[in-house]
Structure 1
């Protein structure tokens, strides 16, 4: 199986958790930890390099997982980083990413952020015409870094409305229906040298992902007819591919995506155009999993509840939109070994003080006891980066592993750390 689509097996999680217990990572008040398979992340980056033309900039989305040491592992492998805020630009720099491999995509860039990004020399994707005027004013007569225009291909939404960003009225980019204005913008601003597109990943079928790229790529010929051949030097395909969170989901292999692009848009791969990708979820999601001790097991009406230390603080989307976001859940015993025996229904609840802090209801699992570990699969993307401060719970320990090597990627927050966070 391609490492692009493989998921962590419970037996493998058990092996890593037992190593973490033996090495003392769950001492001194640590009740939960996130685990990230760095070897798998690097293997996925290698596959990106293999499938796309040499020289393609693979700028992994910081928002998917902003832990600096995870970003650093990608940068050391040759990746770039995509920043959706100027704070993420700073995270990319902290991870050692050269400015030439940073792509800045925020839809709300301030004048100061634009000036700072231009001074750093990061690749800048402009979201709207007003921002384009700000960039032109900030540039003056200086030689610009690569600057692109984000175009909304208006291919419609996928099965998850909240993560679909190419509907007709999306807040992102310039609608492609304003084609004449886009052409005029390239005519008026010679520093524009790139096009950028992104339609979303989760819930998007392969055909829609490819069609979005094709529609924006069609602008390339129109622009170059207007302002001259060779004007578009870079094409940013944006992010990613959906992840198979459910065991019966059918993932889209990277090879299928690239083959579909080559068939639909052969001009992308002729070698005269620099390419940029912005994968995030597909790189990280199934490389991460979490383990939390069960603190209490109690009966409430007809339900048996297992109270753990991770809930809606980590899995915001799962708690608030359970029909759209799924995470497979399993149980290991107090020593980190898979539990056997007959299953019974149990509801997994988190530690926060509101009734919606529920991760699964009536889940069939082997009998759970206090001290056991609940394992939550596929939490490597859009979880810790969306951490909720409700009830002021501290961020959990983050561990990375690569083969037999286990290391701390981010220390857990102590109560004192949380006090510092909320203090002046």
Structure 2
């Protein structure tokens, strides 16, 4: 909350700003340092661009030595523009086009193929380009689902990867394509306990051992662990740390952390989510029998998952007065209603907060990942100003959109009214 107060005092949370998002850049750097310390130095920690595609955030992580995990053609370009060396970019997508694969091969990105047909496509493209591809194969370990089904990808069926039940086809692919040198596993994001993450990695590591026994000890070069470590969204949440994960992996997968395979991780949420808050001015307060509602300027535009699935995606809230001081008083239950024109637009229901008045500032915590990157254009609301605070000073990471910016978005490139 101190960052909100400082931003107000320095005139960075301006009168025209109905809302702002504030990133603690020092905390982000500390989170990355903790991740790097937990794994061997040969590990490439590829930040999931989808979690937070803000170029200054990506630039900061590139400067810290991170890699980037891109899941689309624009995410590749975002990573390149942020300064990531192509050799440190991992390209994941279940729907890679020939154009996208051709670019990835020319640049020398590491490609995680999602299916066996994609391997055949890569082989033909690489032959035509005269390059040796750097490729891993995504495996669905079929280890089970986490608490949130929509973000769990390791059930008996998944849209992602080659199922472990096709083990013979997987081994045949490694025999057919000598350039295929890696395995990739990911079981889900948020709601997946440590035991499930380790079980998924362990199943695919066992497969790696089988391939090496069958085709030679040097057959594999890369093991991509994916992401999945959760963030704490409730006061009582105690998510496992990167060190906890590494310790559990060492027990389940002896030889993985201290062996010759190059390791890759693809974390996003655990790195960035705790590093930002969203602060919105309260525009109106409504009282009806049994309900108290504060109308704020951020709703399902920023909090898409939270509004459509509030039980799975809670957020802690705080209340400040217009000057940025914490409001005191006996807490009551308040609905925080967003500005969009549909009845489910409540980023938080039944928040326990002191009495709210127009002009107060509601602060919603842990919004650093999978919020702004999922911004909805419904009602054509303006994206808020995004601020960063690091090494003792503020910077503007992204300026607040003006109405003409939204008009240009809908016109598209080359459009005119």
Residue in structure 2 matching 1:228, options 216, 228, 233: 216
Specify the alignment match of 1:389 in structure 2. Answer: 377
Q: C-alpha distance in 2, partners of 1:180/1:197?
A: 17
Decide whether aligned partners of structure 1 residues 403 and 366 sit closer, same or farther in structure 2, where only a CA change above 3 A counts: farther
Contact 1:394 1:412 in 2 (8 A): yes
Does the residue aligned with 1:140 lie in a helix, a strand or coil?
helix
Contact 2:273 2:366 in 1 (8 A): yes
Runs of at least 5 residues in structure 2 that lack an aligned partner in the other structure = none
Q: C-alpha distance in 2, partners of 1:279/1:219?
A: 23
TM-score normalized by the length of structure 1: 0.95
Specify the alignment match of 1:311 in structure 2. Answer: 299
1:207 and 2:200 are equivalent in the alignment: no
Pairwise CA distance, 1:189 = 0.5
Pairwise CA distance, 1:49 = 1.6
Decide whether aligned partners of structure 1 residues 28 and 341 sit closer, same or farther in structure 2, where only a CA change above 3 A counts: closer
Contact 1:196 1:236 in 2 (8 A): yes
Root-mean-square deviation (CA, aligned residues, Å) is: 1.2
Residue in structure 1 matching 2:112, options 113, 120, 125: 125
TM-score normalized by the length of structure 2: 0.96
Decide whether aligned partners of structure 1 residues 226 and 143 sit closer, same or farther in structure 2, where only a CA change above 3 A counts: farther
Specify the alignment match of 1:399 in structure 2. Answer: 387
Specify the alignment match of 2:319 in structure 1. Answer: 331
Q: C-alpha distance in 1, partners of 2:226/2:186?
A: 5
Specify the alignment match of 1:275 in structure 2. Answer: 263
Pairwise CA distance, 1:143 = 3.3
Pairwise CA distance, 1:28 = 5.6
Residue in structure 2 matching 1:322, options 296, 302, 310: 310
1:292 and 2:280 are equivalent in the alignment: yes
1:137 and 2:137 are equivalent in the alignment: no
Specify the alignment match of 1:3 in structure 2. Answer: none
Q: C-alpha distance in 1, partners of 2:302/2:203?
A: 36
Runs of at least 5 residues in structure 1 that lack an aligned partner in the other structure = 1-12
Contact 2:51 2:373 in 1 (8 A): yes
Pairwise CA distance, 1:309 = 0.5
Pairwise CA distance, 1:342 = 1.9
1:72 and 2:45 are equivalent in the alignment: no
1:354 and 2:342 are equivalent in the alignment: yes
1:174 and 2:162 are equivalent in the alignment: yes
Q: C-alpha distance in 2, partners of 1:38/1:27?
A: 21
Contact 2:143 2:200 in 1 (8 A): yes
1:83 and 2:70 are equivalent in the alignment: yes
Specify the alignment match of 1:155 in structure 2. Answer: 143
Residue in structure 1 matching 2:245, options 233, 254, 257: 257
Pairwise CA distance, 1:148 = 0.4
Pairwise CA distance, 1:403 = 4.2
Contact 1:82 1:103 in 2 (8 A): yes
Contact 2:186 2:200 in 1 (8 A): yes
* Regions of 4+ moved over 6 Å: none
Specify the alignment match of 1:46 in structure 2. Answer: 33
Aligned length: 411
Q: C-alpha distance in 2, partners of 1:75/1:282?
A: 17
Pairwise CA distance, 1:362 = 3.3
- The more displaced of 293-302 and 304-313 is 293-302
Residue in structure 2 matching 1:108, options 86, 92, 95: 95
Pairwise CA distance, 1:249 = 1.6
Contact 2:44 2:263 in 1 (8 A): yes
Specify the alignment match of 2:368 in structure 1. Answer: 380
Specify the alignment match of 1:37 in structure 2. Answer: 24
Contact 2:126 2:133 in 1 (8 A): no
